Structure 1
Amino acid sequence: MDLLTAEFFQRALLGGALIAITAPLMGLFLVLRRLAMIGDTLSHVSIAGVALGFLINVYPVAMGLVFAIIASFAIEALRRTYRTFAELSIAIIMAGGVALASILFTLGKGYNLDVTSYLFGSIYTLNNSDLIVIAIVTVVVLGVIMLLRKELFLLTFDEDAAAVSGLPVKFFNILISILTALVISASIKIVGALLVSALLTIPAACGLALSKSFRQAIAIVVVIGEAAVLAGLWMAGFWNLAPGGTIVLLLIVILLGSLVVRRYKV
């Protein structure tokens, strides 16, 4: 009970609960569009931004967001260039992000410990500024999805049909990339850059295994995301474990359970 009344743990629960809504939602769109690895790419680029933020004494999450948005534009440009090999754009940007981060790590040796916390997550160190950023990202992402849900649905399942129907496909592709960048930048302090893609993809995998419709999948990914984050935080706090790793391992356990349920349902 002492843990639940601790202010740092309450901030962690609030931040985790908000990200557990947006990350699985964006992950579902990415998985259905076969862009699941974009989470890894943008998170690695975000770490380069975080490192630069420490170097120049600017709010690290903000710099990570700027880098992630720039990377999302670059990915979309390369996707159009290599339409037949769309995954190539993800590999190129990831390589560039890792290379830049390594150089910035070398330049900022005194800040490496702080940057490392963003690699593996440091949800217990969330402050009020972090919570405000996470809340703003949550409102923006949910607002856009609710407002443009029909267009995003069509684009997700048939991009060619969306283009034929007059939908500005280029704009929506960039919009999805930017929303993903927002979510990832807000998530890296919670589960860490190395694990953030799990929060995007594993709930989506569970939703696709258990759902019979897209609307049902949306509900399932959010419920699973919330359950894994909140239960993972409690377990990590109770047994003194790494929060990010605990959340991801719990997600994997839930995925295995989902696959078992799906097998016996069929």
Structure 2
Amino acid sequence: MEIITSEFFQRALIGGLLIGITAPLMGLFLVLRRLSMIGDTLAHVSIAGVALGFLIGVYPIGVGLVFALAATFAIEKLRKAYKTYAELSIAIIMSGGVALASLLFTLGKGFNVNVNGYLFGSIYTLDDIDLIMIAIVTVIVLLAVALHAKELFLLTFDEDAASVSGLPTKYFNMMISILTALVISVSIKIVGALLVSALLTIPTACSLIIARSFRQSIVTVVIIAELAVVGGLLIAGVWNLAPGGSIVLLLIALLLLLLTFRRRITT
């Protein structure tokens, strides 16, 4: 277990633990509002930004963040244009993100190896700048959730009632989308763009089985995500496996275990 004392593993653990707080928190709001596909969409758009960052020699995660924020505003605009078919906005932006990423890949074939780390995760390569970015996003998300817990609760479960009561729903909708974009942008180097949605959704799926209140769900999603992050990193480190994939598969194993346990109780 010498790997635990390694500096790169400790960096990975710190980054993973921080994302294990923010990603499932934002995922909880998205899943309960039936907007879980936004995670996949912003992840694909972020990859286009990462590719452009490599191409022009600018910090890739920073460019990916800009792309994700731009996609957030675009989704909100399209949702207003297609009120009856709001899911169209997600499909359109995802398609555009994938198309742009593929175009940038062909323009910069020399950085394809580096981009693969953002597609599937490269948590062992986190540096000081990455950790600072992750820590800043974590603080922002926690402050936003703590200061607006009641408003987010009402918006999540009854947006119409929230609007009637005078809550600025447009503002809070945009806030949730922006926070999600921030989390996804800093998460893709940890679990990868192709797997980041799992960290957003699977802890919530687990909490829906065992939590009995919204407050319990908030605590449960974080605990489950942290268990998966720590366990996945240890498994990957000991057996030399892909960290991102190990974290996601452990999350799925926990979900299956909870589903099996629930069935035995109800039968």
What interval of TM-score do these two structures reach, taking the shorter chain for normalisation?
over 0.9
* Displacement of 1:200: 0.2
* Displacement of 1:262: 2.5
Q: Which residue of 2 aligns with 1:82?
A: 82
Q: Which residue of 2 aligns with 1:131?
A: 131
Work out the CA distance in 2 between the residues paired with 1:263 and 1:136. 41
If the length of structure 1 is used for normalisation, what is the TM-score? 0.98
Where in structure 2 are the equivalents of 1:221-236 lying within 5 Å?
A: 221-236=221-236
13-22 or 84-93, larger mean C-alpha shift: 84-93
Where in structure 2 are the equivalents of 1:33-44 lying within 5 Å?
A: 33-44=33-44
Q: Which residue of 1 aligns with 2:154?
A: 154
* Displacement of 1:201: 0.2
Work out the CA distance in 2 between the residues paired with 1:261 and 1:67. 41
* Displacement of 1:265: 3.8
Q: Which residue of 1 aligns with 2:119?
A: 119
* Displacement of 1:83: 2.1
1:239 and 2:239 correspond = yes
Partner deviation per Cα, 1:10-38 (whole Å, 9 max, x = no partner): 00000000000000010000000000111
Q: Which residue of 2 aligns with 1:92?
A: 92
Aligned length: 266
* Displacement of 1:205: 0.3
Q: Which residue of 2 aligns with 1:193?
A: 193
Secondary structure of the structure 2 residue equivalent to 1:84:
coil
Q: Which residue of 2 aligns with 1:183?
A: 183
* Displacement of 1:263: 2.5
Partner deviation per Cα, 1:27-84 (whole Å, 9 max, x = no partner): 0000000001111000000000000111111100000000000001111111222222
Q: Which residue of 1 aligns with 2:204?
A: 204
AA aligned to 1:55 is L
Q: Which residue of 2 aligns with 1:220?
A: 220
- Structure 1: gaps spanning 5 or more residues: none
Partner deviation per Cα, 1:127-168 (whole Å, 9 max, x = no partner): 011000000000000000000011111111111111111111
* Displacement of 1:202: 0.2
Secondary structure of the structure 2 residue equivalent to 1:83:
coil
Work out the CA distance in 2 between the residues paired with 1:134 and 1:102. 27
Q: Give the 4+ runs in structure 1 shifted more than 4 A.
A: none
Q: Which residue of 2 aligns with 1:7?
A: 7
Work out the CA distance in 1 between the residues paired with 2:139 and 2:87. 30
If the length of structure 2 is used for normalisation, what is the TM-score? 0.98
Q: Which residue of 1 aligns with 2:55?
A: 55
* Displacement of 1:264: 3.4
Q: Which residue of 1 aligns with 2:145?
A: 145
Work out the CA distance in 2 between the residues paired with 1:77 and 1:157. 23
1:250 and 2:250 correspond = yes
AA aligned to 1:77 is K
AA aligned to 2:39 is G
RMSD: 0.8
Secondary structure of the structure 1 residue equivalent to 2:58:
coil
